[in-house]
Amino acid sequence: MRDAEQLFRSTAVPDSLAFFSDLSPLNQRLFVVELWEALSKASISGRQEDERALLEMLEGWEATADIERHPEIVAEIQRPKEYVRVDLDSLDD
């Protein structure tokens, strides 16, 4: 998979996958693995649900790239959260 990742980085990526360069290095590796698995499954089975799953996977990664393109969003997502304990029993009253 490392070779596939390098191939994506060193060759012209189709316009439909232009978001690849916006992914972090870790997410680039994860994307290549998921793409390989989804393409393999869709091409072997030929089932529409596998083709739909491939499209959904691509849309999900494109959304991830959109988030990673905005450092302020990434910082907000990674910010430690403060949670308030809620007594669920008191909600019944």
Mean pLDDT of 47-68: 93
Number of domains in the chain: 1
pTM comes to 0.70
**Residue 80 to residue 87: CA distance in whole angstroms:** 22
Residue 77: pLDDT over 70: yes
* Single-letter amino acid code for the residue at 92: D
User: Of 34-38, 57-61, 86-90, which range is least confident?
Assistant: 86-90
Residue 63 inside a domain? The answer is: yes
Residue 84 inside a domain? The answer is: no
**Residue 93 to residue 86: CA distance in whole angstroms:** 14
Please report the pLDDT score of residue 53 as a whole number: 92
**Residue 32 to residue 5: CA distance in whole angstroms:** 6
Per the CB < 8 A criterion, the answer to whether 33 and 1 are in contact is yes
3-state SS, residue 93: coil
Residue 58 inside a domain? The answer is: yes
Structure tokens at 38: 């989804």
State which residues form the domain around 34: 24-67
Mean pLDDT of 31-54: 90
Residue 62: pLDDT over 70: yes
Average pLDDT, the chain: 86
How many CA atoms, within 13 angstroms, populate the side-chain half-sphere of residue 7? Answer: 9
